[in-house]
Amino acid sequence: MPIRRLSNHLKIGLALLWITALWWLFVWRYLTPVPADRLMLALGDFTHTYYVFRDLAYRALRVGEFPLRVLCLFSGYPYQAYPQSALFYPGTWITLIPSLLGGASHASLDAFHLESLIHLWIAGVTAYALFARETGSPWGGLMGAIGFAFGGYLTGYPILQVSIVQASAWAPLLLLGLRALAEGRTVAGALATGAAGIFILMIGHPQMTLYIFLLGLAYFIFCLSLPGGLADRKALRHAAWIGVLILGTSAIQLLPTLEYYRHSNRVRLPFPESGTGFPVQDVLQLLQPGLVSHWQPLYSGFLPLTLLIPALARGGREARFWAGIGLAGLLLSFGANFPLYEVFFQLVPFYATTRSQERHALWVSLALAALSAHGLAALLRGLPRARRWILSAGTRISGAMALTFALSLPVVTFLARQGIDPSDHRRLPQEVGLSLLFALGTWGWWQARARGWRNRRGLALAALGLASLNLAAFNRYLDAVPPASIYPDHPAAAWMAQDPHRPFRFFDEYRLPDHYGCWLGEEDIRGATSIHPEPYFSFLKQTPEPMQWWLLGVRYVITWGRELPDMHALGRTATLLQEIPQGNEVTRIYRLDPPLPWAWVVRAVRPVKTVEEMLAALRDPAFRPAEEAVVLGPAEPLDATAIEGPDEVQLLHRTATEARYRARLSRPGLLITRDPWYPGWTVTINGRPAPLRRADGVLMAVYLPAGENEVVFRFRPISFYIGTGISGLTVFFLWPLTLWRMRRRVGHPAQS
């Protein structure tokens, strides 16, 4: 092997070793088996949404079922269609495989910690590959990798909102692949772009997917304009075809998700809800964490920040591109607090479906990492005499930062001793002291470079060590808490567990942790996901509580200390089971009696043309759902001359995707079940398909003839099966054919 090739491999190996060691410094206390040393990621989205959703998949797979749908939230939820279920993203199986091998009743929380945290390492590796290619310097590439993977952005809320850190981690690989396509390296470009694009779509965070793909489009167009880029249509054709393959491979997830979006509350958000973002004063995060919020997604450390000076002065067009991306990301992250977002909201497709615009910090984080990589690479290459002012500027700016923190430290220390600490972390003196140390270290590094330290390796190692320690000091345990129970015991769980009248649902008025019912295996009529099914969500907002509780089969109500509305008109009463002091309020647990059958028959049918008319009918105080139904579309005539007799409806079997009933009717009628309608449900009567109707706002119904009938409702979403076929065709035929043709053209350049 040539010495140069060995040297390159050694540099790559050392860079990966550095990234791995720094990653372990960040995560070891989350993964250690020693209980006394152990920490966990904070309770909230990480545990109560993302982990619980992994647990739902695990529990379904453990009993041999594929989790197309779950029962425990929104009275039944299309789990696989929810974009962040991520069932087909390989990273998800970091949690599922160890859990299935362990066979416990719930998925492994330790494995889920690893699933989230391993993406910091992936982000470092992919960023190193991108920035080393951009700068031509392994030292510059490593500086960029450290800044992106361990900066304030990825180590903050993204590792709690797991799909954000997962999608962000693959963004550098997507850009690297697009750069390869622009340079004519088709096989490498196809593999990198394809893998990253598929992973990002399978992860299923629509907002981050939008931001990453927009960044990828801008980067690809920019790379085409660079020397060595393909100025003709060939690169565009290659990129477009790879895009088709990415969509085809992801169809198994995309088609159900798109169908879900059509029936969700995310078709379009109002501007005030979409435009939430950073307050403008959050730019202070660039210099001092903790001053304006608990999170510090804009923080990249002192030395990387000062490396913007040589990057902008000597980094060329690529540095200017990243400066533009960083500035655009910063301004957009302010959301409605800055006018630029209004332009994007109106003109850029899909922006009106997003919220929390501070997530544009991804662009800022990548840009700062890229600029620090270009800045270090420029300094290591040496500066001409005309550019020596860069060293003077770096020394003066870092010295000014050190002086500022030196003057601030006594002030904040004195205020803290008086009980005044305006920071969110409540440790401002300690953090200002750390800032002083790292500002002095940055000043010392610039002084050494200005005074003639020309040992490139020593200069680079000092810079990398200083940046690594700086980021570790501020970002290592931002999300850490001592180990605790995810869901503490609650009396409501005991009351529901001992009830023999099943199935039933419960209504929780924000007195229980999010998705508590999913953890218990009970059925909630609400949920905490940001994307809600429609018209179910409108049904909950517009229908009086007694009516929605009757129609959805609610048996337990957990609410604050209020009296429940009168339900005698619907034949129900509320029994107060327990009062529990909770802070300054009281939590009340009610049981609604009598228990309700899961399906019933009516013969008075009121046809309506729209869902809005159905919901309006449910608000009519005279409406009695046990005797009459409101049906969407034309009503079928029922034989009113038949002899009336008793009806019997028996629930034989029920899972998330199937419900089987035996019905004995004296005369024809409309059978209504308490499970909500969603695309993909079908119904058979005695094995023969029958028209499925929508009744009483959101429920499923079917017309039955007189006599004994076996009625089976099955959830078989056609979008999933079509998507599976498209994905299979793409993976097993189109991808191999594409790569074969690309390799053949590489081997025969004259023909290509």
Q: What is the DSSP string of 161-200?
A: SHHHHHHHHHHHHHHHHHHHHHTT-HHHHHHHHHHHHHHH
CA dist 59 and 104 (Å) reads 9
566 and 686 together in one domain: no
Mean pLDDT to the nearest integer, 113-125: 99
Same domain membership, residue 317 and residue 344: yes
Cβ count within 10 A of residue 397: 19
- Is the pLDDT higher at 727 or at 388? 727
Contact 580, 598 (CB under 8 A): no
Rounded mean pLDDT, 308-317: 92
Q: Residues 227, 114: one domain?
A: yes
Residue at which a domain ends, from 566, 593, 620: 593
> Do 473 and 336 sit in the same domain of this protein?
yes
The verdict on residue 435 lying in a domain is no
pLDDT value at residue 750: 44
Tokens of 77: 């939820």
Measured CA to CA, the distance from residue 323 to residue 310 in angstroms comes to 12
With CA atoms as reference, report the closest residue to 619 among 540, 547, 673: 547
Confidence check: pLDDT of 747 > 70: no
- Rounded to an integer, what distance in angstroms lies between the CA atom of residue 57 and that of residue 100? 11
* Whether residue 516 sits in one domain with residue 500: yes
Average pLDDT of the chain is 94
* 238 and 167 share one domain: yes
CA distance 220 to 282: 30
Answer yes or no: is 135 within a domain: yes
CA contacts within 13 A on the Cβ side of 568: 1
**pLDDT band at residue 675 under the 50/70/90 scheme:** very high
Residues 342 and 219 in one domain: yes
End-of-domain residue from the set 541, 566, 593: 593
Q: Tell me, yes or no, whether 465 lies in a domain.
A: yes
Maximal C-alpha separation, the chain: 105
Residue range 695-714: average pLDDT? Answer: 97
User: Does residue 446 lie in a domain region?
Assistant: no
Query: Is the same domain home to 7 and 121?
Result: yes
Domain range holding 644? 599-716
Q: What is the DSSP letter of 577?
A: E
Check if the beta carbon of residue 446 is closer than 8 Å to that of residue 309: no
Could you tell me how many helices (H) and strands (E) the chain has, helices first?
Answer: 26, 18
Within 8 A by CB and 6+ apart from 260, the residues are 78, 81, 82, 83, 531, 533
Inside any domain, residue 732? no
Structure tokens at 141: 């590439």
* Claim to verify: residue 499 and residue 369 sit in the same structural domain: no
Task: With respect to residue 685, please indicate whether it lies within any of the assigned structural domains.
Answer: yes
Strand partners of residue 685: 688, 711
Q: How far apart are the two ends of the chain, measured CA to CA in Å? A: 31
Per-residue pLDDT band for 640 (boundaries 50, 70, 90) equals low
Q: Which long-range contacts (CB under 8 A, 24 or more apart) does 186-192 make?
A: 186/238, 186/742, 186/745, 186/746, 187/739, 187/742, 187/743, 187/746, 189/238, 189/242, 190/238, 190/242, 190/245, 190/738, 190/739, 190/742, 191/739
**Region of poorest pLDDT, from 66-70, 184-188, 323-327, 381-385:** 381-385
Task: Quick: pLDDT tens for 252-272.
Answer: 999 999 999 998 877 778 899
Position with higher pLDDT, 205 vs 315:
205
pLDDT, average across residues 55-62: 97
State the Cα angle at 307 between 383 and 13, rounded to 5°: 90
Q: How many CB atoms lie within 10 A of CB 582?
A: 13
**380 burial via Cβ count (<10 Å: 0-12, 13-18, 19+):** buried
Q: How many CA atoms lie within 13 A of 516 on its CB side?
A: 21
d(CA 672, CA 675): 9
Q: For the purposes of burial, counting CB atoms within 10 Å of the CB of 584, is it exposed (0-12), middle (13-18) or buried (19 or more)?
A: exposed
Least confident of 33-42, 447-456, 461-470, 687-696: 447-456
Q: Is the pLDDT of residue 748 over 80?
A: no
Greater confidence, 233 or 663? 663
629 in a domain, yes or no?
yes
Read off the pLDDT band of 752 (50, 70, 90): very low
What is the band of 230 on the pLDDT scale with cuts at 50, 70, 90? low
The SS3 assignment for 404 reads helix
CA distance 306 to 741: 47
pLDDT attached to residue 1 = 45
Q: Where is the domain boundary, 574, 593, 612?
A: 593
For 344-385, the DSSP string reads: HHHHSTTGGG---GGGGHHHHHHHHHHHHHHHHHHHHH---G
Nearest to 445 by CA among 314, 302, 562, 585: 302
CB 713 within 8 A of CB 683: yes
Residue ranges of alpha helices (H) inside 294-358 are 302-306, 308-314, 316-333, 340-347
Domain assignment present for 738: no
- What is the mean predicted confidence (pLDDT) over 134-148? 97
State yes or no: pLDDT of 638 exceeds 80. Answer: no
Share of the chain above pLDDT 70, in %: 97
pLDDT in tens, 273-306: 999 999 999 999 999 998 888 889 999 999 999 9
- Tens digit of pLDDT for each residue in 190-208? 999 999 999 999 999 999 9
243 and 300 housed in the same domain: yes
Q: Tally the domains of the chain.
A: 3
CA torsion 51-53-56-57 (nearest 10°) is: -100
CA distances, 413 to each of 287, 300, 379 (Å): 18, 25, 37
pLDDT at res. 696: 97
Q: Same domain, yes or no, for 15 and 120? A: yes
Whether 574 and 704 share a structural domain: no
Q: Which of 207-221, 580-594, 633-647 ranks highest by mean pLDDT?
A: 207-221
Euclidean distance between CA atoms 204 and 254, whole angstroms: 9
**Residue appearing with tokens 């009567």:** 685
